[in-house]
Amino acid sequence: MGAISTAKKSSELVSTEAKSTTETGQYLTFMLGGETFALGILNIREIIQYGELTEVPMMPKFIRGVINLRGRVVPVVDLSARFNRNATQVSRRTSIVIIEMEQDDPADAQSIGVVVDAVNEVIDILSTAIEPPPSFGAKIRPDFISGMAKKDGRFIIVLNLDQVLSLDEMVALGQAVHGGIDTNAEAENDA
């Protein structure tokens, strides 16, 4: 009886390990410049229609401005411009995805909007269906890519939010929210 019980425990352990290596994650897919991208849904708070943006002077070109979201000032990043492409052409389907970036202190979480051409859907992707990012050939910096997901015979670029909205950009965004001046832009003007 002890051997059967041990075998059962071993098979349960293997089954648990298999589940942990093939976990499914949920991702919001969206279009940007004709390509499909994805973000994990855990940081996404809401999706709103593009509009009512206030431009902030002396910000990097990828910061479109700020919006008033229920009394909070939220900076808005144009992902296309962030990827060193042309600025997003606003159309009827252009959306702003509101992302909450966590800081060391949860009370300091920063909401950031990102402009996308169009939001598609939320999909489930197995962790085994996500391959490492390519070291070359992508139209954006490799460190911006978390992986390449395969879904229904097509590739979806899974973004690495920590890199796309890195600390350097977060500082610039924080200055925009608090009325600061981008010292890099000021230094370039003085040169």
Q: How many CB atoms lie within 10 A of CB 144?
A: 21
The domain 23-190 having CATH identifier 2.170.130.10: the answer here is no
Largest CA distance in the chain: 83
* Residue 58 clears pLDDT 60, i.e. is over it: yes
174 or 172, higher pLDDT: 172
When pLDDT is averaged across residues 35-58 and rounded to a whole number, the result is 92
What is the percent of the chain where pLDDT is above 90? 40
Q: Given this model, what pLDDT does residue 190 score?
A: 44
Kindly calculate the radius of gyration of the chain based on its CA atoms and give it in whole angstroms.
20
pLDDT band at residue 88 using 50, 70 and 90 as cut-offs:
very high
The domain locations on the chain are 23-190
Q: What's the pTM?
A: 0.73
Residue with tokens 């509009």: 51
Q: How many CB atoms lie within 10 A of CB 127?
A: 13
